[in-house]
């Protein structure tokens, strides 16, 4: 989302889930926000239009990056 800032003032970060190859651009739907409780660097969760994931599935996929953060998934 060009020119969209996160609460920390930097560009908004996103997890693009359900895509198995590198992409430069993508279209999809936002199914959740990873709201970090211990800093101001939230992330949105984007998936292809035909995919939906549970909170548990999202947490499992983003664990590699979020394992040190306290966060909640907001729908």
Q: Which two tokens stand for residue 23?
A: 């992409």
In a domain, 51, yes or no: yes
- Residue 18's domain comprises 13-74
In a domain, 4, yes or no: no
Pairing status of strand 13-16 against strand 29-36: unpaired
Pairing status of strand 71-74 against strand 43-47: unpaired
In a domain, 23, yes or no: yes
In a domain, 22, yes or no: yes
In a domain, 66, yes or no: yes
Tell me what pLDDT residue 70 has.
96
In a domain, 42, yes or no: yes
DSSP-based three-state secondary structure for 62: helix
Tell me what pLDDT residue 19 has.
95
In a domain, 17, yes or no: yes
**Average pLDDT in the 54-73 region?**
97
Whole-model pTM?
0.89
CA distance 31 to 67: 20
Instruction: For the chain, give the percent of residues with pLDDT over 90.
Output: 75
Q: How many domains does the chain have?
A: 1
In a domain, 64, yes or no: yes
Residue owning tokens 């292809």: 48
């Amino acid at each position: 989302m060009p020119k969209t800032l996160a609460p920390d003032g930097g560009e908004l970060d996103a997890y693009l889930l359900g895509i198995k190859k590198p992409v430069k651009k993508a279209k999809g739907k936002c199914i959740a926000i990873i709201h970090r409780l211990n800093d101001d660097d939230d992330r949105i969760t984007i998936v292809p239009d035909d995919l939906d994931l549970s909170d548990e599935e999202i947490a499992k996929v983003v664990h590699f990056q979020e394992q040190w953060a306290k966060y909640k998934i907001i729908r």
